[in-house]
């Protein structure tokens, strides 16, 4: 998918209100209502990002946003995370304790694009930054790199305007490629030579980061040549 082919809200990659909620949450009607709020927050944030994408394409003839992906956390995943954190499994508890039920991932070509997109989002008056975790400058022990933001935005419903939280992950395409393989590895219960595989993945993370940085420097050199010419 190219820069000018971002998926719009009508083709959103979101599983709308997974239907196994009754097996996890007792108050299913309330669960459905709350999850619809998170779904609407995704629509709001995608619109903001797609507006930025269109604006940057016209202004700079280069779009730092390559892809936009989104998802709602499944009820089984919500329950597992609440239990792991020691919280009650309920609709009220998930609202109070989880900030990543609504998630958006933005893929960029270059590392500096990640920080530019983050700055643009932070400048928007109706976007409140709750937390930022920079796993690019401070990668996880396994090599994971990405830029995470928890934001809160007002969402207009039929009878009210409510703030809703959403997690935004911004990373390069190369970082996402690595994270996909690492995610697959995390869910394999028994893998032969798992420690060796994780060690090699860690090495790959460093190589990918070095390549990302080199590609960014090469792009800057090419642009300087164009400006001087």
CATH number at residue 57: 3.30.460.10
pLDDT band at 24 (very low <50, low <70, confident <90, very high): low
Residue 208 lies in a domain: no
Parent domain of 71: 3-175
Residue 201 lies in a domain: no
Higher pLDDT, 140 or 195: 140
At residue 97, the pLDDT reads 96
How many structural domains comprise the chain? 1
Helix (H) or strand (E) holding 215: helix 194-228
Q: Please write the tens of the pLDDT for every residue from 148-166.
A: 999 999 998 888 899 999 9
The burial of 21, by beta-carbon neighbours within 10 Å (0-12 exposed, 13-18 middle, 19 or more buried), is given as buried
How confident is the model over 183-203, as a mean pLDDT? 80
> Taking 70 as the threshold, does the pLDDT of residue 22 lie above it?
no
Tokens encoding 67: 């892809």
Residue 191 lies in a domain: no
pLDDT band at 141 (very low <50, low <70, confident <90, very high): very high
Residue 11 lies in a domain: yes
Higher pLDDT, 214 or 182: 214
How confident is the model over 184-194, as a mean pLDDT? 72
> Taking 50 as the threshold, does the pLDDT of residue 4 lie above it?
no
Residue 225 lies in a domain: no
At residue 228, the pLDDT reads 64
Residue 160 lies in a domain: yes
At residue 10, the pLDDT reads 34
> Taking 70 as the threshold, does the pLDDT of residue 50 lie above it?
yes
Higher pLDDT, 24 or 29: 29
> Taking 90 as the threshold, does the pLDDT of residue 100 lie above it?
yes
For residue 2, give every residue at least 6 positions away whose Cβ sits within 8 Å of its Cβ, in sequence order, or none. Answer: none
> Taking 70 as the threshold, does the pLDDT of residue 17 lie above it?
no
How confident is the model over 97-110, as a mean pLDDT? 96
> Taking 80 as the threshold, does the pLDDT of residue 127 lie above it?
yes
Phi-psi region of 193 (alpha: psi -120 to 50; beta: other; left: phi over 0): left
pLDDT band at 187 (very low <50, low <70, confident <90, very high): low
Please answer whether residues 20 and 76 qualify as being in contact, where contact means their C-beta atoms are separated by less than 8 angstroms: yes
Higher pLDDT, 55 or 207: 207
Residue 83 lies in a domain: yes
Please answer whether residues 168 and 117 qualify as being in contact, where contact means their C-beta atoms are separated by less than 8 angstroms: no
């Amino acid at each position: 998918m190219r820069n000018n082919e971002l998926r719009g809200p009508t083709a959103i990659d979101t599983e709308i209100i997974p239907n196994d909620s009754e097996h996890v949450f007792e108050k299913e009607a309330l669960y459905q209502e709350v999850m619809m709020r998170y779904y609407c927050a995704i629509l709001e944030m995608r619109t903001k990002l797609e507006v930025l994408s269109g604006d940057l394409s016209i202004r700079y003839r280069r779009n730092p946003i390559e892809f936009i992906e989104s998802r709602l956390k499944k009820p089984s995943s919500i329950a597992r995370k609440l239990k792991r954190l020691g919280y009650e499994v309920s609709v009220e508890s998930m609202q109070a304790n989880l900030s990543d039920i609504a998630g958006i991932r933005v893929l960029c070509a270059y590392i500096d694009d990640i920080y530019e997109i983050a700055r643009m989002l932070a400048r928007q008056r109706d976007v409140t930054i709750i937390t930022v975790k920079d796993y690019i400058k401070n990668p996880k022990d396994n090599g994971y790199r990405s830029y995470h933001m928890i934001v809160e935005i007002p969402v207009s419903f039929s009878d009210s305007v409510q703030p809703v939280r959403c997690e935004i992950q911004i990373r390069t395409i190369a970082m996402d490629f690595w994270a996909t393989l690492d995610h697959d590895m995390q869910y394999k219960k028994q893998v032969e030579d798992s420690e060796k595989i994780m060690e090699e993945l860690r090495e790959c993370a460093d190589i990918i980061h070095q390549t990302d940085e080199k590609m960014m420097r090469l792009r800057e050199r090419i642009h300087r040549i164009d400006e001087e010419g």
